[in-house]
Structures are given as structure tokens and as C-alpha cells.
Amino acid sequence: MEFEKNILCIGAGYVGGPTMAVIAAKCPRYRIQVVDIDKERIEAWNSDHLPIFEPGLHDLVRKTRDKNLFFSSEVQRGIQDSGIIFVSVNTPTKTFGQGAGRAADLQYWEKTAREILSYSKSSKTVVEKSTLPVRTATAMERILNGNTRGMSFEVVSNPEFLAEGTAIQDLENPDRVLIGSRETPEGIKARKEIVEIYANWVPRERIIESNVWSSELSKLAANAFLAQRISSINSISALCERTEADIDEVAYAIGMDSRIGLRFLKASVGFGGSCFKKDILNLVYICENYGLEKVARYWQAVVEINDWQQSRFIQNMLANMFNTVAGKRLALFGFAFKANTGDTRESPAIYIAQGLIEERAQVVLSDPKALENAKKDLKKFEDQIIFEADPYRAAEGAHAIAILTEWDLYKTLDYDRIFDSMAQPSFIFDGRNILDHKRLFEIGFNVFAIGKSPLKHF
Ligand code: UDX
Ligand code: UDX
């Protein structure tokens, strides 16, 4: 069969994999190749054990793989075959040199751009799928168009707004798709080519076109705004704990104002994930570079509140467990940064587990999907941690349970049974406000939630 378009995606990660699987499923007339330098990851994509867990992903991959969706490590061939190249390699926070700890590390992106240039035999459209600092497209254009072989490259920005755990749903039914390009005739032509892909299933009014800088910046700004809502509600949660106000009631009352809205107002132990912190720090760094010190400080505070919320959680456990957890078994329920994913990047659980280990507690980690990643994240402390997928066994003999991820399964456990198996007095610290606190208190637990008055038996 003759395919209408040949599309390549470089980077088979959380973004590249699901995005290409959805494009392949929605556009059977396109041939989609996904390449990655990590051979093991590619093997996993070609097996029954996909490298990432995402509801609905496996079905899509099964339907499209080896029909119009192909995973391989042949970067060179992929580049030569394709007219459109999505780049979704990782852009982590820089760990060295200028901007360390804040700026985006663009080395993989730049390396990929150079690879595209060296293997290409014809002109191409290169799509920024990775989150990048505003104005990255200029650097890419300069690298790509610095060739003397008569090829021209258009760089288009098409940021990804999918959230993990709902990636397939978000891709199939997005609030909007954003596509930015240069406003030259060639730029607009490249932009339209990308619009055409999404128009196969996204209503035209939800496909937004803009200049390339607006598109790049919108991604950073969207994540900063989302994270800011969480830090805002978490800051108020601390005040609730002092004033007998209840954070869920407050969130509901303010969220019913249609100007504010109810979503993303769930108080928690803090936000995690690969994007929020990284993107805000990047925004802060960019603002500083443009001399916008006040703007930088404003957004920096969103990250500071989030760090504080996590350390507050540890302090709260300590203070309420008679100021010592040394030698006490503590069961942490949930390690993923949110429910329905095995991803643990920047998960508050990493920080909290470490804090409790430093206090010499006997930490038991339980999670239905994230224990493999947890083992890697806490490799340094391997000997001091017990990993136990079964929450009942994890809680046996424990002094306290801390809920760190909002997995549904934790809502329906038999807490009578758990209480009977624990050391007394037993404590529950609900870092996600998902449990029935009154009922737990009646069972006999001392219950501490985020932004609520504690329910204590002493
Ligand atoms: C994405 C985006 O790229 C990032 O900018 C955004 O902020 C978060 O989401 P993600 O898909 O989550 O990243 O990253 P990851 O799962 O690490 O996948 C990136 C893949 O690119 C990895 O599999 C890595 O092996 C691959 N890669 C990296 C290459 O194929 N070539 C390289 O040169 C570098
Ligand atoms: C986020 C953005 O939502 C997505 O648009 C972007 O493309 C990538 O970054 P993701 O990190 O996958 O997606 O998850 P998200 O659902 O946004 O949750 C991020 C963190 O915030 C999680 O740790 C979550 O538990 C926490 N959170 C979210 C809260 O604590 N309270 C809330 O009300 C919502």
C-alpha cells in the first residue's frame, strides 16, 4: 500500500510513544516510524510489555503496530524516509554549568537537530514536540539551515498537553492542539501540513495556529498556571490546618465560581511529574535572562510552596508520632507521582521516603505500578527499604500509613483488617485526601489529612 505521508518521531518516551500510537490509529493512510537510541526501549515497544503504562495504549499499539506504526532504532533510515519529523527527546533540567538546576538541558535536542541535518537528503518539516524554552526554534533553524546542500527545514512548534494516566483520552479528544510556525509563506505551509494531520480527528476549531514563539511559550505558561493552582490551594491548606477550615470545602466553594472552576484545586502532598517543576524553573531562568526579576520570583514561589508542602508533610508525621519515627515501621501507600501511571519522576514520594529514612524509620513502599521505578529512584537506600506490592502486608506491624498517591485501590481497602494488623496507636496521614476520615477515626486510627483538623484519640 502506498502511504500518503511518512512521519517520523525521534524519542519513544512518555510523549512520543502515545502520541504516535494515536496518530497511527486515527490516520491509517500515514506511515509512522518511532525511533529511539535506547534499544531496550524499542524492544519493549515491539513486545507485549510496553515500556510505559498508560490506560488504552496497549490496545492502540496492538491494532497499529507493524501495519502503519513501526518502532525501531534505525534513526538514519527513519530520517531519510520521512518528510515530517517530530522530535520528542527529553529536555531535562540542566545539572551542570550556567543555569544548573533551572535551565533546560538542550544537548539532546541539538544533537538530534544535527543528526537530522547530517542524514537528510531532502527538505523537511521538523516539529518541536518536546517542551523547549521560548526561542529555541531560532537555534534549531540556524543549525538545520546551515547546510550547503540546498535543503530547507521549517521548524514548527506543536507542544504536547497530554497528562499521564489520561494520555490516550487527552490525545483523542484534546481541549486544543497548538501549532506555531514562522509567518513566512514556507512557515505557514509547514504549519498547514501539521494541521492536516490533526484535522483527521480533531474538530478544526480546536486546532489553534500561532506564531512559533507564542506556541513555545504557551506550553511553559500552561504548566506554570496549572502548577500555580496546586500551590495556591496547598498554601491555603496550611492555613486550614490552623483555623478549623476544611480545604475540600474551601476548594469547592471557590471552585464553584465559574471564573475559577473546580479542576486542579485538589490539595495534596505536592505536585510531581516530569513537567511542572522543570518547566517553571525554566520559565524562571528565562525571565531572569531577560532581566525580569520580579516575574522570575513570582513563579519561583510556586515551586517553593510545593517543596515546603512536602517537608511540612514529613514534619507533621514526626510531630504527631511523638517526635520520633526512628525504628518505626511506616507504610507508604503509593509511589507514582499520580494515580494510573508507573511514572515516579519528581514524585513527592521520593522526597518523603528519603526524609523518613533519614529519621531512621523502617520504610515500606507499596504501589501497584511504580515499584520498579521506586527501586531505581531509591537505589542508595535499597537496604533500608522494604518493597511490598500488597498493601495489607505492607501495613502489617506498621505504626503509620501515609497515602502518597491517589490510587483508587486505597479507597476500598478493608481498613478494619489493616487496623487490627498494625502497631498501636495507629496513624494515617492522608496526603491525597481520598479516604473516609470519619470512618477511619471510628475504627480507631488517628487521622491526619491535608488542610483539615486532625481526628485524634488522645
Ligand atoms: C517529554 C518531552 O520530550 C519533554 O520535553 C517534556 O517536557 C516531557 O515529555 P518524555 O517523553 O516524558 O519527554 O521523555 P522520555 O520518556 O525520557 O523520552 C525521551 C526519549 O528520547 C527516551 O526514550 C530517550 O532514549 C530518547 N532519546 C533521547 C533519543 O532517542 N535520542 C536522544 O538523543 C536523546
Ligand atoms: C502535566 C500537565 O497537566 C500536562 O498538560 C502537561 O502536558 C504535562 O504536565 P502530568 O504531569 O502528566 O501533566 O500530570 P497532572 O495531572 O498535571 O498532575 C501533575 C501533578 O499535580 C501530580 O503529582 C498530581 O497528583 C498533582 N495534582 C494535580 C494535585 O496535587 N492536585 C490537583 O488538583 C491536580
DSSP 197-239: HHTTTS-GGGEEEEEHHHHHHHHHHHHHHHHHHHHHHHHHHHH
pLDDT in tens, 245-301: 999 999 999 999 999 999 999 999 999 999 999 999 999 999 999 999 999 999 999
Residue 57: left if φ>0, alpha if ψ -120 to 50, beta else—which one?
alpha
Q: Which ligand is nearest to the CA of 227?
A: 2
What's the rounded Cα separation, in Å, for the pair 17 and 36? 10
Reduced DSSP (H G I as helix, E B as strand, rest coil) percent helix, strand, coil of the chain, to 5? 45, 15, 40
Q: Is 282 in the pocket of ligand 1 (CB under 6 A)?
A: no
**What are the cell numbers at 43?**
524492544
Based on the number of CB atoms within 10 Å of its own CB, is 4 exposed (0-12), middle (13-18) or buried (19 or more)? exposed
Measured from the CB, is residue 12 less than 6 Å from ligand 1? Answer: yes
**Which-ligand-closest: CA of 86?**
1
125 strand-pairing partners: 84, 154
Count of CB atoms within 10 A of residue 295's CB?
Answer: 15
What element of type H or E holds 252?
helix 247-255
- For ligand 1, atom 24: residue with the closest CA: 11
Mean pLDDT to the nearest integer, 332-345: 95
Residue 216 to residue 157: CA distance in whole angstroms: 6
The grid coordinates of residue 177 equal: 492542539
C-alpha cell at 59: 490496545
Measured from the Cα of 170, ligand 2's closest atom is 5
**What pLDDT does 146 receive?**
87
Ligand 1 centre distance from Cα of residue 411 (Å): 33
Kindly tell me if the per-residue pLDDT of 118 is higher than 90.
yes
- When the pLDDT of each residue in the chain is averaged and rounded to a whole number, the result is 96
Looking at residue 148, its pLDDT comes to 85
**SS3 at position 332:** strand
Euclidean distance between CA atoms 385 and 366, whole angstroms:
11
DSSP letter assigned to residue 318 = H
Helix axes 247-255, 212-243, angle to 10 degrees: 140
The pLDDT of residue 343 is 93
DSSP annotation of 122: S
Does 266 sit in the ligand 2 pocket, CB within 6 Å?
Answer: yes
For residue 268 and ligand 2, the question of a CB distance below 6 A is answered with yes
pLDDT, tens only, 119-145: 999 999 999 998 888 888 898 899 999
DSSP 31-82: EEEEE-S-HHHHHHHTSSS-SS--TTHHHHHHHHBTTTEEEES-HHHHHHH-
| Beta carbons of 46 and 36 less than 8 angstroms apart | no
User: Taking the model in full, what pTM does it have?
Assistant: 0.94
Q: 36 CA distance to ligand 1 centroid (A)?
A: 9
Count of Cβ atoms closer than 10 Å to residue 408 Cβ: 10
Ligand 2 atom closest to the Cα of residue 348 is 23
Q: Longest C-alpha distance within the chain, in Å?
A: 79
For atom 9 of ligand 1, the residue with the nearest CA is: 15
Residue 391 is predicted with a pLDDT of 98
Find the 15 Cα to ligand 2 centroid distance in Å: 14
CA torsion sign for 8, 173, 199, 113 is negative
The set of cell numbers assigned to 221 is: 505558561
Is the CB of 141 within 6 Å of ligand 2? no
pLDDT at 303 over 80: yes
Atom 3, ligand 2: residue with shortest CA distance: 163
Helix (H, G, I), strand (E, B) or coil at 127: strand
112 close to ligand 1 (CB < 6 Angstrom) = yes
**pLDDT attached to residue 134:** 84
Give the residue-averaged pLDDT of 168-177.
Answer: 98
Distance (Å) from CA 10 to ligand 1 centroid: 8
How many angstroms is it from 227 CA to the middle of ligand 2?
8
Kindly give the distance from the C-alpha atom of residue 265 to the centroid of ligand 2, in angstroms, as a whole number. Answer: 11
Contact 214, 267 (CB under 8 A): no
Ligand 2 in reach of 164 Cβ (< 6 A): yes
On the 0-12 / 13-18 / 19+ scale of CB atoms within 10 A, 387 is middle
Which amino acids are annotated catalytic?
275
Place of cell 541539538: 110
pLDDT at position 1 over 90: no
Q: What is the pLDDT of residue 77?
A: 96
Buried b (16+ CB within 10 A) or exposed e, 328-337: bbbbbbbbbb
Mutate which of 275, 408, 432 for ligand 2 pocket (most atoms within 8 A of beta carbon): 275
What is the per-residue pLDDT across 58-104, written as a single tens digit (0 to 9) for each? 999 999 999 999 999 999 999 999 999 999 999 999 999 999 999 99
Top mutation candidate among 79, 89, 126 for ligand 1, by most atoms within 8 Å of CB:
89
